[in-house]
Amino acid sequence: MPIRTAYTAQIEYLQILDENGQFDEKLGKDLLAPEEVVFLYQHMVTCRALDQIAFKLQRSGRMGTYPQNKGQEAAAIGSGYAAKKGVDFLVPCYRENAALFLHGLPMHYVLLHWMGDERGNKIPEGVQQLPLCIPIGTQMLHATGIAWAFKMRKEPRVAITYFGDGATSEGDFHEAMNFASTFQVPCVFFCQNNQWAISVPRETQTASETIAQKAIAYGMPSIQVDGNDLFAVFKASREAIERARGGGGPSLIEAVTYRLGDHTTADDARRYRDAQELEMWQGKDPMIRLRKYLVDRGLWDDEKEAAHQEKSKAIVQEVVKAAEGIEKPSIDDIFDFTYATLPAELEAQKRTLRTSSLGQDPEQAGLQGEAQRA
């Protein structure tokens, strides 16, 4: 028997707007109307402003650890905009704030989350998304299950889940991809390959040439796109989302981007990252090329830029005010939201939380006096 080829595959790379602002008219034809591009650019600028103020809030001691989103806005916005607001369901990690805001999450929720307040996760009714997910890669299984429920109920809805290059080393990534494809659920796996998982470079995560090719093993369509190109991200995402909606099953999108900031405010990327590499990627910033695209077409100018920067500043100030203006939560909350109804032991602990005899009736513990003081 001769040796024959059992399987072959290839991975496509899509770029429409390159780092110099060169636009592929053929690939980008009728993709986004001019007013849509203006709107998305404005959103990008506002999100960048919020990201910067969040960084400053941490540095000035007004907020806890924060992971900057800087540089990855095109990936978040292009994919988020391709999903239907109020219909499709977003399952994030923590570096796609711009997508969450597009789908209706009030901006101050993200600040509240990083200010150590669970109310930042209390997604308002009608907003179709889960809160940020801190452990790596676990949320992809939730997205798969949510998409599975949509399929079971024959609802024309899609779940889209975000994760980084590091997450592709986690077992849950593979289990989620495998389940999603085996059961053909309408889920889009969106990898923001930002080259770094804290200090570990993409090459140390996997010996695969691309992240996108990992989908081949699961019988799933995939594509690699320039993640700093809004148009490429939007086009690939829309195709994957509409394929899923039409019953075509899940897809994997690898958006090649770069984390322009540190991993979080608790990290210092200079310890492990080349200044030259950072500089090279700063030149590929999604905002620079999108602005150039708009200016070249007469859709944007310095005056509009200045006006929108001012507007963003005002928006962000209001967001910070909303996050800082909220009263400290009550310790009662941690009891009241552990279960739907309070079990007797938790009820007793709540009642006695300020005493030294947790959960006990004070007279049983011989602490009558203390109970009176409390």
Partner 1 sequence: MANLTLVQAITLALQQEMEKDERVVLLGEDVGLNGGVFRVTEGLQKRFGPDRVIDTPLSESGIMGTAIGLAMAGMRSIPEIQFEGFLGPAYDQLVNHAARYRSRTRGAVTVPMTVRVPVGGGIHAPELHSDSPEAIYAHSPGIKVVMPCTPRDAKGLLISAIRDPDPVIFFEPKRVYRSFREEVPEDEYTIPIGQAKVVNEGTDLTVVTWGATVFQCLEAMDNLPEDVSIELVDLRTIYPLDVDTVVQSVQKTGRCVVVHEAPKTAGMGAEISALIQEHCFLHLKAPVQRVTGFDTMMPYYKLELDYLPDAKKIGESVMQTLAY
Asked whether position 293 contacts partner 1 by CB under 8 A, the answer is: no
**272 catalytic residue (yes or no):** yes
**263 catalytic residue (yes or no):** yes
Q: What DSSP assignment string belongs to 293-307?
A: HHHHTTS--HHHHHH
Integer CA distances (angstroms), 351 to 76, 89, 190, 201, 341, in order: 45, 39, 46, 50, 15
DSSP 8-class letter at 132:
P
B/e letters for 93-130, b = 16+ CB within 10 Å, e = fewer, are: bbbbbbbbbbbebbbbbbbbbbbebeebeebeeebbbb
Q: Specify the stretch interacting with partner 1 by CB under 8 A; choose among 6-14, 64-72, 146-154, 273-281.
A: 146-154
Which of these is catalytic: 259, 289, 291, 293?
259
Q: Which is nearer to partner 1, 310 or 333 (CB)?
A: 333
Helices (H), 183-299: 202-205, 230-245, 275-282, 286-296
Asked whether position 215 contacts partner 1 by CB under 8 A, the answer is: no
Do residues 90 and 116 make contact, with C-beta atoms less than 8 angstroms apart? no
Q: Please tell me the number of Cα atoms within 13 Å of 340 on its side-chain side.
A: 0
DSSP 8-class letter at 213:
G
Asked whether position 334 contacts partner 1 by CB under 8 A, the answer is: yes
Which of these is catalytic: 95, 202, 263, 289?
263
Residue 63: count of CB within 10 angstroms of its CB: 23
Of 346, 353, 370, 371, the one binding partner 1 (CB under 8 A) is: 346
Of 22, 42, 52, 178, the one binding partner 1 (CB under 8 A) is: 178
Residue 163: count of CB within 10 angstroms of its CB: 30
Q: Which is nearer to partner 1, 313 or 351 (CB)?
A: 351
Q: Which of 337, 273, 369, 217 is nearest to 71 (CA)?
A: 273
Asked whether position 344 contacts partner 1 by CB under 8 A, the answer is: yes
Binding-site size, partner 1 (CB under 8 A): 48
Say which amino acid occupies 141. L
Tokens 């150590």, residue?
Answer: 116
Asked whether position 144 contacts partner 1 by CB under 8 A, the answer is: yes
Q: Specify the stretch interacting with partner 1 by CB under 8 A; choose among 114-122, 250-258, 273-281, 308-316.
A: 114-122
Integer CA distances (angstroms), 126 to 83, 117, 121, 151, 204, in order: 15, 21, 14, 20, 40
- Closest approach of partner 1 to the CB of residue 344, in Å: 6
Q: What distance in Å separates the CA atoms of residue 287 and residue 298, rounded to the nearest whole number?
A: 17
Q: Which is nearer to partner 1, 122 or 313 (CB)?
A: 122
- Closest approach of partner 1 to the CB of residue 172, in Å: 6
Of 21, 64, 104, 145, the one binding partner 1 (CB under 8 A) is: 145
Q: What distance in Å separates the CA atoms of residue 149 and residue 163, rounded to the nearest whole number?
A: 21
Q: Which of 239, 265, 261 is nearest to 252 (CA)?
A: 239
Of 27, 39, 42, 175, the one binding partner 1 (CB under 8 A) is: 175
**245 catalytic residue (yes or no):** no
Of 246, 333, 354, 374, the one binding partner 1 (CB under 8 A) is: 333
Q: Specify the stretch interacting with partner 1 by CB under 8 A; choose among 124-132, 199-207, 234-242, 286-294.
A: 124-132
Of 83, 130, 255, 260, the one binding partner 1 (CB under 8 A) is: 130
Asked whether position 152 contacts partner 1 by CB under 8 A, the answer is: yes
Q: Which of 199, 234, 260 is nearest to 33 (CA)?
A: 234
Q: Which is nearer to partner 1, 152 or 200 (CB)?
A: 152
Of 19, 96, 172, 262, the one binding partner 1 (CB under 8 A) is: 172
Which of these is catalytic: 59, 270, 272, 354?
272
Residues serving a catalytic function are 259, 263, 272
Binding site for partner 1 (CB under 8 A): 89, 118-119, 121-125, 130-131, 135, 138, 140-150, 152-153, 159, 171-172, 175-176, 178-179, 182-183, 333-334, 337-340, 343-346, 359-360, 364-365
